Every structure is written in C-alpha cells, then in structure tokens.
Amino acid sequence: MTLSPARSHVLTFAAAAAALLHPVPGGGQGPTPDVQHFTVKDGLAQSWVSSVAQDSSGFMWLATKRGLQRFDGHAFVSYAVLDTGAPAELSGETGRLNLDRAGRLWVATPSALLTMDSPGRWQRFPLRERLTGWHEDSGGNVWYADVEDVRVIERAAGAPVVRSVYRTDQGGLLVSIVERAGLVWAFWADSSVTVAIRVNPRSGEIMRFRVPHVHSPSAAREDERGRVWIVGVGGGAVLAPADSVFRSVGALRGDTINDLVAADGGGQILLGRDAILRLDAGDRITGRWSPAGVFESTSLFQQLAVDREGGLWLPSLTRGVFRVDLRGPLFEHLARRTAPELMLASDFVVALHEDRRGTLWIATLGGGLTAVAPDGAARTFRHVPGDASSLASDEVWDIHEHRDGALWVGTNGGLCAVLPRGYFRCYRPPWGSGVIGGITEDDAGRLWIADYGTAVATFDTRRGTFGPPTRPLGGTAFVGLHLDRQTDLLWIGTQSDGPLRARVSAGVVTEKPRPMRERDGTNSGAYDFHRDARGTFWVASDRGLERWDPGRDTLERVSPPALEGTTVFSIEEDYDGHLWLGTSHGLVRYATDGGDSRRFGPREGLQSGEFNRGAALRRRSGQLVFGGVDGMTRFRPEDVVTRTLPPPLVFTRWSRLTSAGTVEAPVSGAETLVTGPRDGAFTIEFAALTFGARALRRYRYRLEGLDPDWIETSEPRVTYGAPRAGRYVFRVESAVGEIGEGAAPSIAIGIRVLPPVWGTLWFRALAVMLVGVALWALHLARLRSAVATERLRLRISRDLHDEVGSGLSSLALLSDTVAASTRLGDRERGQLARIGASARSMVAELRDIVWAIDPGNDRLDDVVDHMHDSAGILLQGMRVTFHAPSGSALATRLAMTARRELLLLYKELLHNASRHAGAREVAITIEVGRSELTLTVADDGEGFMPDEVRRGTGLRSVRERATRAGGRFELESAPGRGTTARVSLPLT
C-alpha cells in the first residue's frame, strides 16, 4: 500500500523475508545444510569410495578400492587392522555394503559376496560380475542379481545354499528387491527400455513390466505404502500395490536420479545428478539442495546412505565421501547480517510477544517495534519527530497485551497503546523519567508500570491516567515487573538491589517494597520472573537461577553445572515443563524435576553474545524464541532434545607395547584386555558415534583400582604405563553440550595385568607349600629334640635317685652304725654324726633336684603341691596358711629352669621365716596371672629394717636369684610388725 508522509513511520518488508519468523509448511529450501568432506587427508585409504553403511552399533563402514574401512567420527581404520584373519578381498577393491536384520555386514567385492557369520568366521559366495544390489527377505534369505541371474542364498537351516530363481539372456541385471509380500523384483535395461520382472518364489510365477521414462536404472526400493520405486536416467517411476502399470513421477521427469532412501515423515530423499531432492508423500518436490562444493562434474555419486542422526552420506568415485545434514543447526539465529536476513531496524531485541491473532511483536533498543503477521507481512514502527501519533521512542523496553486485546508498549518516551492502521497513543507520567521499563496487569485489568529508576504505579487504560507513585528505593534502576496473581505479590526487578517485593490490593501498594535476600543475606540484579506449571516461582538474576522458598521467605540459588559463572536474563517454559534460560553465556535447558541441565552455544547455531532480560517467548505452536544483543534465536524444544541425546559410546581398539613392538587389536565390550608381565604401556581408544559437523565430543574416564577420580578429556584415547599386576575396570562416559554436562551411561571393560612368574598364584602357592614343609620339618626336629631331652631328664632323675641317692643313704646308715661302736671316742662319734647329718641333708637336697628335673612334674599344679608339702616340713612348729588357685589356672607348664628357680627362692624365703623371723604364723600366697606368677610369704615375726639387712638372712641372694630369673623381689618389714616378701617371676 502507499503511505502518506504522515504515516512514514510504518515500513513494510517483503513477505518472503518476514516468513522466516513464521515457517510455512512445505515451502523453500530451508536452512543451509551442514557439509563435511572426508578425503585421504582425513585418513581415507583412497578417494574412490563406492558405498557407505552404518552398522547396528553406530560405526560407519566405507568401501574403497584399497579395502574396507571403519569410521568412528574420529579416525578411519582399515578392517585388516581390526581383524588380521579377514579374507584378502577386504583389503582390495570393495563395492556395495549392506546390513541384514541380524546386524551382519555384507560386502560385495568384484569376485564374491562376503559376510561374517560369527566373529572371525567369514562366508564367501562367488560372483561372476560386480554385484549392484541385493535384499534380505523376512526369512533371512538373501536375494541378489548376478549378471543375468536372480539368485537367492537360502539360510533357513544348515549350510547356506545358493539357488538360481530367474535367468534372462539379456544380461545387465542391476538390482533386486524383495517386497513385504515376499515377491522378488529385478530390473535391467533392454535396449532403450527398462524392464522389471516380479518373481513369486513360492509359485514360480513371473510377471514382466515396462518402466516408462527411466533409462539405465540405478536403484529401487519399496516405500512404506508398499509402492515399488525405480529411478535412473530420465527420472523415476512408481508402481502402487493395486496397479499393474508403472507410473512416471512427473516431478522427476528429465532428471538423473542415482539413488533414493526413505524420508522422515514419509516421502523420499533422492540423489540427483546435481542436487539432493525431497519428495513428499504426494510425490511433489518440497526441497532441492545443491550445497556449495559438493555437486561438481567430477563427483560421480552413485549411492545415498542415511545415518541414525539423519545425515546423508554421498560416496564419490573421485573425491572421497561427503556428509550432508539438511536440517541445519539445532537453533536458528536471525539477525540483519544472517542468511537469510532478519529485517529489523536494530538487532538489539529486548522483548517479544505473540498476540491472540498470531502476530509476532519484536521490541528493539534503537530500532522501534516490529510486527510480523501470520501471513509473513512485516511492519516496523519508528518514532517520527513532530508526529504525536507515532511511537514515542525507538527505545522499546516491554510489550503487554491487555485483556481487552489492546497492545501496550513501554518506551523511553512513555507508555504507548498500539492503535489500528499503525497509530499510537502515548502517555507520559507526570512524575519520573518517563522511561517505562516494565508492564504487568492485575485481576481488575489495571496496568502496573515501572518508571525506570523512579517509581512504580498503576495505569487506568480507560481513563488514561496514572495512579500515585510508589518509590521503592531511591537511585535503583527498575528493569522488570511481574504481578504474581497467585499471591498478589508485585515483584520488581532491579539492576543492583535484587528483586523487590510488595503486596498490592485494589490498585494500592499495601506494604512498602522490600528487597528479597538469599539465604546468605546477599542480593544481586534481578531481570525476569516466572511461575512454572508446578507452582514454583523462579527469579532470573546475576547469581543465576533462584527459587523462592515461601516457607522461609528467602531465595535459594540452584547451581547446576550449566549455570556455573553465568547471569540468567530470561526464563521461559516449554510444554514438557522444562525451563529454558537465556543467559550471558548461551541458552540453558533446566529440568526442574531432576535438576539436569545443558548449555547450548554457538556450536549448535546460537547467536554470539548475550540474551536480554525478559526477551523470551513460547509461541502457541510450541516454538521458543529468545532475543538478545545480536538478534533472535528460535527453535523447537522437542527437536533439540531428540537431536542431542547422547550418542552410542563404544570401545574401538587398543594397543600395547611389547618386546616385539606395538601390538594393536580391536576391542569387544564383552572381553577382558590382558597385558603380559613384560608388556609396557597400553592405550585404549573409544568413541561417541556421532558424525555431525557441530558434534562436540567430550569424555571422562577412570581406571578403577588406579585412578581415584574421573579424568575429563576431549581426546578419544588414553594411555597408561605398566600398572602393578592385578585386575582393573576401565570406565568411560561421553558427554554432550558446551561444558560437557549430560553424561551418557558409562561403558566398561576389564583389564588384567599379568604378574611375573614369582608373582603368580601358583608360584606363591608353591612357595607357601615349601615354607610349610620346611616349618613342618623344623617342628619335627624340635619335637624329636624335646622328646630326647625329656628322656634324658627322666634318665638323669632316675640315675640320681637310684645311684647317688642310694649311696648317700647308705653313707648315712653306715656312719650311724660306726658311731654306735664303743671303741670310738667322743671326737670320732661327733665327726661321724656330722657325716650322717650331711648325707641326710644331701639326700633331701637331691630329692628336690630329682623332683625338679623329672618331666612328669612340669605342670604348675605339681609345683604348687610340692611347695605345699615342703611348707609343712620347713615350718614345723608354726601355724601355716597356704593359699593357691586351682583348676585351669594351674594348667600351665613350667620349664625345668624356671621350676628350679621358683623352688629355690621358695625354700630360701621359708628358711628365713623359720630361722630368723621368730614368727609363730606364716601365710603363703601364690597368684597366677596371664604371664606372671607371684609368690608372697608373710610372717608375724619381730621384723627388721630392710635397709639394715643382716648377714645370713639370705635376702640378698633371693634378690639376685629373682633378677637372674627375669623377675623382681619386693620386701616389706618393720621392727615388731613382721615381714612380707614378694617374688614375681615370668611364666614363660
């Protein structure tokens, strides 16, 4: 339309550019594809790549002229390195790759079709010519075309059997497929016409079909509706299940189509000569992509493969392999300098709103207000000096839609209502700066506005009047306003004093706004407020994300890893209840139920720089839009979650340093890695199987038994020196996101480090056995020695008793007999009497010696009994009390030396009490401890001073004997108070 000069503040942009803000189904090429190009510089064995396939674990396999290779996103590895026993053909030219339902990889070579039946065991099926296509039926049988034969490899039972099903003399069969109904299709070019045959293996029935407009067929497939597709030079044709004639696909007529695969949501993705095309379910072209640098005359693409992440792989016969992601980045960044361009007057987006008609309103700082209608028409409203009906200022801070449908915006020039036909009616408060930084609404339909740095007040939309101002704090800047209708609390965001809170009622502030503190008593800038679907109230602040605790009336900061060191400016909630936070360092997704968080940044397509306070919007479609200092970011939360799930994590290979050099081997998660006693360092490699151009691979690992904590790395390998012998478990996790949060479950593998010979279990067992035998032999020797000693002691005691004792007794008797003679004088009789007494004394002493060395008297109870008997003999005429333990306390055995010392000490003490103490009563006490025996002899004699020991008492010899025996002697005595002698001897 034509605008008058008075309305020149309204600018109209092209609908095509504005449509970026509201996507139209089925329109346009869409985001610019991400393209990766892999060549020999990246590790490819050869630039000639004929086929690509992804296995059930997530590895990509590539067929080249120099063998089969595996790709894990980090490195290309030749299969001959992974399996040294692989057939020689896998190191040469390889062709078409595919996987069967059991996950087995099938590889076509010029001379054979190969598959691994079990680990290390390959099956080989000879071919007469290069295989171009094959398919597996529901029974596990493999159908393929070999020159003029359609053959089947029957694997139902026993050894596989190859059988010819159909033969044609035309030759040139290109591909075969199997319908779900079990019918086999084959195609070939007959002169200038493509012919299709359908074989029923059960009945043998064969039907022929002509395929119009398709020459030199290159690929075929059956789609989800059971339609059979054939493509090649000239386009493509399709046969519906109920039809008997192939129908040419008009949208493809004249094109050259080399391959086709299924598209998400139905339809086909096709590989053309110079573009990738997408057909919808109605066979209409809805997208055509010709990424720069991909389609050139020398590319020679023949196959199209899809990985589980949606990436398209294009193997080339001259330039390696390309991976193309048509979906573009996770997040779409829109600004004036992006492609496609966002037509805003300023990229500084501070507020967003979608009105009830579906129009998207964008408030900018310095660029006015932009509206994008559902049909894509966009208008920007600016301030025009001198025009009172224009926007009051190009600095727009907030947008609010009143319950009556009217739209209100806060600007640097006051509060403005958006009128029909692009007019504005603006109001400036009679007090304050006139900078309206926040707008909210109460239940009565009153607007509450925050005048930047001055006051908070109501606004009557019908009368156009402001209520009395409330000045919460002097000098602070108000940057947000939110009325929580659940609690009737007015929350005011400030730049430095944290959130302020006041209770309001009937348009009046009933309590003075006061700062809300955190538990530690501090506060910080607050920018946005949100009550989620579960009723929790959240605050975006300089401290990060804060949760209001109504019970304690405090703010509690939540600190997931993704929010470390960030300021949260805006909060929005998706339909699944997750919070999305616009921060100073990207966008963060926070799960309120479990606390999981993840940060997204420029790698995923986000704008650089910061997001802005309050500039967050959830559209009715579920799409989220965030504004910042560099434009806008939009995305669908469900797409982000689906595309950022942790990729499969696998071990790829390992190597160890041996005396013969470095030995490499593949790794299976079910096995244990073993290193020998002479092996040195070993390296374990792993990979998160993701292949996107923006994939951010992060890992953390730990060798349990050696590493006390997890170790983070971006490298997909780790090397350990030779640890000590033992069993270990190596664990690794992959993580996603800007800072590696959101780790996937770990994978683990056992590691066994073999010990040297002397450290093995059998060697230790043998050593223990030998030591045991030696100890047993020593024990037997000691036992034999002890027995011999006992026998010797017994013989000595008997000899002393029988020989020496009897001789001394005879001497005593003889002296008595001679002394009785009348012929001797008194002097001779006295001498004989002394001889007899000495002999009798020696017999008594000898009796004690014989008793002491007799092995039968080694037990302590025997010693105590002997001591009891000796007391009655040595202390005749005195009153004797004898106290000793009984039972098991006396079961201890005493060595002969210890027994002899004890008896000698005992007799000496009794001798002193009998001859020197002048006592009438003697008390003898024996106490037996764990390792010590205590003998106490106490009398009621005249006593003496211990320091004045007289000669002949024998006490000095008692002390010396006790010391020699390893014991101690104690003496207590005083004149007139008797004497107590105590001897303590060790029992061992």
Among candidate residues 189, 78, 84, 83, the one with its CA nearest the CA of residue 132: 189
Q: How far is CA 264 from the centre of its chain?
A: 32
pLDDT of res. 27: 37
Q: With the CA atoms of 577, 582, 586 and 592 taken in that order, what torsion angle do they form, in degrees rounded to the nearest 10?
A: -30
pLDDT of res. 808: 61
pLDDT of res. 738: 56
Per-residue pLDDT for 794 more than 50?
yes
Q: pLDDT tens across 23-62, in order?
A: 333 334 456 788 999 999 999 999 999 999 999 889 999 9
pLDDT of res. 1: 28
pLDDT band at 93 (very low <50, low <70, confident <90, very high): very high
pLDDT of res. 26: 33
Using a 10 angstrom Cβ sphere, with 0-12 exposed, 13-18 middle and 19 or more buried, the burial of residue 361 is buried
Average pLDDT over residues 789-805: 61
DSSP 534: T
Average pLDDT over residues 483-508: 89
Tell me whether strands 672-675 and 747-753 are parallel, antiparallel or unpaired: parallel
pLDDT of res. 847: 64
pLDDT of res. 741: 53
pLDDT of res. 193: 83
d(CA 328, CA 694): 10
Q: pLDDT tens across 496-521, in order?
A: 788 989 999 888 998 888 888 776 66
- Terminal Cα-to-Cα distance of the chain (whole angstroms): 120
Angle at 416 between CA 415 and CA 419, to 5 degrees: 160
Average pLDDT over residues 77-100: 89
Average pLDDT over residues 474-499: 84
pLDDT of res. 40: 95
- 39 to each of 62, 97, 319, how far by Cα in Å? 12, 19, 7
If one counts every other C-beta atom within 10 angstroms of the C-beta of residue 819, the result is 16
797 phi-psi bin (left φ>0, alpha ψ -120 to 50, beta other): alpha
Q: Per mean pLDDT, which range of 446-460, 705-719, 729-743, 926-940 is the poorest?
A: 729-743
Contacts of 521 (CB under 8 A, 6+ apart): none
Per-residue pLDDT for 686 more than 80?
yes
758 or 769, higher pLDDT: 769
pLDDT band at 251 (very low <50, low <70, confident <90, very high): very high
Contacts of 790 (CB under 8 A, 6+ apart): 855
pLDDT of res. 511: 85
930 or 126, higher pLDDT: 126
pLDDT band at 395 (very low <50, low <70, confident <90, very high): very high
pLDDT of res. 871: 81
Average pLDDT over residues 96-110: 88
Dihedral sign computed on CA atoms, order 953, 959, 965, 969: positive
What's the mean per-residue pLDDT of the chain? 83
Q: pLDDT tens across 899-922, in order?
A: 777 888 888 888 888 877 788 899
**Residue 616 and residue 571 in contact, taking contact as beta carbons nearer than 8 Å:** yes
pLDDT of res. 465: 95
User: Where are the extended beta strands (E) located within 421-567?
Assistant: 424-427, 436-441, 447-451, 455-460, 465-466, 478-484, 489-494, 500-505, 508-509, 514-515, 526-531, 537-541, 544-549, 554-558
209 or 666, higher pLDDT: 209
Q: pLDDT tens across 328-343, in order?
A: 778 888 888 776 667 7
pLDDT of res. 426: 97
**Residue 34 and residue 324 in contact, taking contact as beta carbons nearer than 8 Å:** yes
Dihedral sign computed on CA atoms, order 459, 460, 464, 469: negative
Element (H, E) at 902: helix 896-915
Q: pLDDT tens across 587-638, in order?
A: 999 999 888 888 888 777 787 668 988 899 999 999 999 999 888 999 999 8
d(CA 175, CA 249): 20
**Coil, helix or strand at residue 742:** coil
d(CA 819, CA 831): 9
148 or 78, higher pLDDT: 78
Element (H, E) at 638: helix 637-643
pLDDT band at 121 (very low <50, low <70, confident <90, very high): confident
User: Where are the extended beta strands (E) located within 659-714?
Assistant: 661-666, 672-675, 682-688, 698-704, 711-713
Per-residue pLDDT for 16 more than 50?
no
Q: Which residue bears the tokens 């779900």?
A: 180
Average pLDDT over residues 212-230: 90
pLDDT band at 759 (very low <50, low <70, confident <90, very high): low
Q: Give the amino acid at 358.
A: G
Q: Which residue bears the tokens 């470390």?
A: 564
Contacts of 106 (CB under 8 A, 6+ apart): 97, 98, 99, 100, 113, 114, 115, 134, 142
492 or 667, higher pLDDT: 492
Average pLDDT over residues 396-403: 96
pLDDT of res. 602: 78
pLDDT of res. 54: 94
Among candidate residues 680, 739, 688, the one with its CA nearest the CA of residue 715: 688
Per-residue pLDDT for 642 more than 80?
no
